[in-house]
Amino acid sequence: MKTVRLGCGAGFSGDRIEPAVEVAERGDVGYLVFECLAERTIAIAQQEKLRDPNGGYDPLLAERMEAVLGICRTRGIRVVTNMGAANPLAAARCVGAVAKRLGLRGLRVAAVTGDDVLAALHRREEPLDQTGEPVSALGDRLVSANAYLGAWPIVEALAGGADVVITGRTADPALFLAPLVHEFGWARDDWPRLGAGTAVGHLLECAGQVTGGYFADPGYKDVPGLARLGFPIGEVGEDGSAVITKAPDTGGQVTEATCKEQLLYEIHDPARYYQPDVIADFSGITVAEIGRDRVRISGACGHPRTGRLKVSVGYVDSYIGEGQISYAGPGALARGRLALAIVAERLALAGLATGELRCELIGVDSILGPLAPIDGAGPEPREVRARVIGRADSLAEARRIGNEVDSLYLNGPAGGGGVTKSARAVIGILSALVPDAVAEPAVHTIAC
Amino acid sequence: MRLRALAHARAGDKGDISNIAVFAYRMEDYPLLERVLTAELVKDYFAGIVRGEVRRYALPQLGGLNFVMERALGGGVTRSLALDAHGKCLGLLLLDLDLPVR
């Protein structure tokens, strides 16, 4: 029976570089997929593209391709990635330049465009999921609008012979589903298989999160070799069932527990995982360990797609300013609390950031919030880190927040040290659903 | 009994929604979890952090319960002021929950 072997080379834009090399060199894979595009990244990339028409793609694209392209060429491995971000065409040219530097001739690089629906959305009245208002109500604060495309444009690129396929916004699992559709010839309405392929993609797309990353809990869930965590490989059959494993001779582990945790990661109703090509249904999935670092996944299915695409809308939201300072030794807690009170009073006096302001102590209540014990109820911490963060209408006002923390050095409680401060513009992300005809995917192939 | 003795968990984020998948270490403990670890209990536990509804999806064949918690991430990952804007810490925090069993 035919088996397609898919490897994952990155699960986010800042992911480690060398695990992809291990998958390519030792994983015996046919495809190497890099998922590097978070929700907000594309909005920031869009702003970069406005500044530089040749920019706006993933900053690590060249480095990642330099690490793997030679091996992929030798072994006949095809690459699929969403590192095109806001500018897949420029990203494809970048890969072409890398191939030239490496002396790889005749490489075919395809760019998938058409996810950028900003122009179309200006004219439409679809409501935003979060506010109910039309997208157009964001006016000139609107920065980007990208539809989550499905697998078919990538399938088209692979059928056209592409060695490397670069997309912008594409549903993450579709990056993995596409090679399966291409290899097995699954039909556009083969809902059970499209659902099963989506499950495989979902398990692989976060790379190390299925091989022991985001999992270890010493004494409860121990994982060997996290410093050299191996990235995952899916061995997929024609029926869409799969064995999840990882690159040989690497750290980490693939167990029923790592697969189960990743299966529901960022999933809401497991029976209805909305994708552009299918509504995947994970509710009947079973997992079974069939060997060391080998887990069989079966029982996924799917239902007809909705015909609508999710659009991620980026907009200029606000500015955030932050400052932190540490206190240690006896009375650290009380001095930390005093520091927070001083900064809050100073900001109120200046009329700044009084609307949304968080004053908290890292190590005491910054994560726990209302779940933290009342001061004095437990053992007193021997060190605390005061954190003040607030929303502002301008970058200058946001800077005032960190500056007020900074001035505690000379004007605040005794023994304050280690100030850090920052201020930044915030691109917010909202979403809307549009008919899929609003997006017009296209494939552009360049030979290099 | 602390939930941590019986189960492991992972948190994920989408917009202002956090989901925590909880799995029994041993399949024989799953029926107990399904009985006592209700959406209401999780909602009460996270009172003040989770401001919206909590829905629970059961996956008996995986020994798992998926809790979907609305308005849990300070307005959404991209604009939240929280130190842990993604709510990645919430999964392990839930394991501190005291199960109402003798």
- Say how many domains are in chain B: 1
Tokens of A271: 């029976």
Whole-number pLDDT of residue A351 = 86
Q: Is B83 on the interface with A (CB under 8 A)?
A: yes
CB A322 within 8 A of CB A423: yes
Verify whether the Cβ–Cβ distance B19 to A270 is below 8 Å: no
Residues of A in contact with B68 (CB under 8 A): 268-269
pLDDT in tens, A272-312: 999 999 999 999 999 999 999 999 999 999 999 999 999 99
Task: Please check the confidence at residue A353 and state whether its pLDDT lies above 70.
Answer: no
Residue in A with minimal Cα distance to B13? A266
Residues of B in contact with A129 (CB under 8 A): 15
| ipTM for the whole complex | 0.98
| In-domain check, residue B61 | yes
Task: Go through A363-402 and write b for each residue having 16 or more CB atoms within 10 A of its CB, e for each that does not.
Answer: bbbbbbeeeeeeeeeeeebeebbbbbbbbbeeeebbbbbb
> Which one, of B96, B68, B4, B86, lies nearest residue A209 by Cα?
B86
Q: Where are the domains of chain A?
A: 3-114+149-306, 313-431
Class of domain A313-431: alpha beta
Q: Is B14 on the interface with A (CB under 8 A)?
A: yes
Q: What angle do CA B30, B31, B32 make, to 5 degrees?
A: 90
Distance CA A147, CA A388 (A): 36
DSSP for A344-393, written as a single string: HHHHHHTT-S-SSEEEEEETTTTTTGGGSPPTTSSPPPSEEEEEEEEEES
Phi, psi of A425 (to 5 degrees): -80, 145
| In-domain check, residue B33 | yes
Task: Please check the confidence at residue A412 and state whether its pLDDT lies above 90.
Answer: yes
Verify whether the Cβ–Cβ distance A40 to B12 is below 8 Å: no
3-class secondary structure, B13? strand
- The amino acid at residue A7 is G
Residue in A with minimal Cα distance to B70? A268
Q: List, in order, residues 6 or more apart from A69 with CB less than 8 Å away.
A: A79, A95, A98, A99, A102, A104, A107, A164
Whole-number pLDDT of residue B67 = 98
pLDDT in tens, A199-240: 999 999 999 999 999 999 999 999 999 999 999 999 999 999
Q: What angle do CA A388, A390, A393 make, to 5 degrees?
A: 150
Verify whether the Cβ–Cβ distance B76 to A428 is below 8 Å: yes
Give the torsion sign (CA, A189, A191, A192, A197). positive
Q: How many CA atoms lie within 13 A of A15 on its CB side?
A: 30
What is the 8-class DSSP label of residue B99? P
Whole-number pLDDT of residue A352 = 83
CB B60 within 8 A of CB B34: yes
> Which one, of A107, A104, A126, lies nearest residue A117 by Cα?
A126
| In-domain check, residue B99 | no
pLDDT tier at A447, thresholds 50, 70, 90 = confident
pLDDT in tens, A159-169: 999 999 999 99
If phi > 0 it is left, if psi is from -120 to 50 it is alpha, else beta; for residue A293 that is left
Task: Give B41→chain A minimum CA distance, Å.
Answer: 14
Task: Please check the confidence at residue A158 and state whether its pLDDT lies above 70.
Answer: yes
Residue with tokens 């409680």: A413
**Selected residue of A131, A144, A261, A317 to mutate for chain B interface (largest B Cβ count, 10 A):** A261
Q: Is B89 on the interface with A (CB under 8 A)?
A: yes
Residue in A with minimal Cα distance to B87? A367
Distance CA A74, CA A43 (A): 36
pLDDT in tens, A89-135: 999 999 999 999 999 999 999 999 999 999 998 888 889 998 899 88
B81: domain CATH number is 3.30.70
| In-domain check, residue B101 | no
Of the partner residues B12, B48, B79, the one whose CB lies closest to the CB of residue A369: B48
Q: Is B49 on the interface with A (CB under 8 A)?
A: yes
Tokens of A96: 């072409």
| In-domain check, residue B100 | no
| In-domain check, residue B27 | yes
How deeply is A291 buried, as exposed, middle or buried, from its count of CB atoms within 10 A (0-12, 13-18, 19+)?
A: exposed
Q: Is B4 on the interface with A (CB under 8 A)?
A: yes
Residue B21 structural domain = 3-94
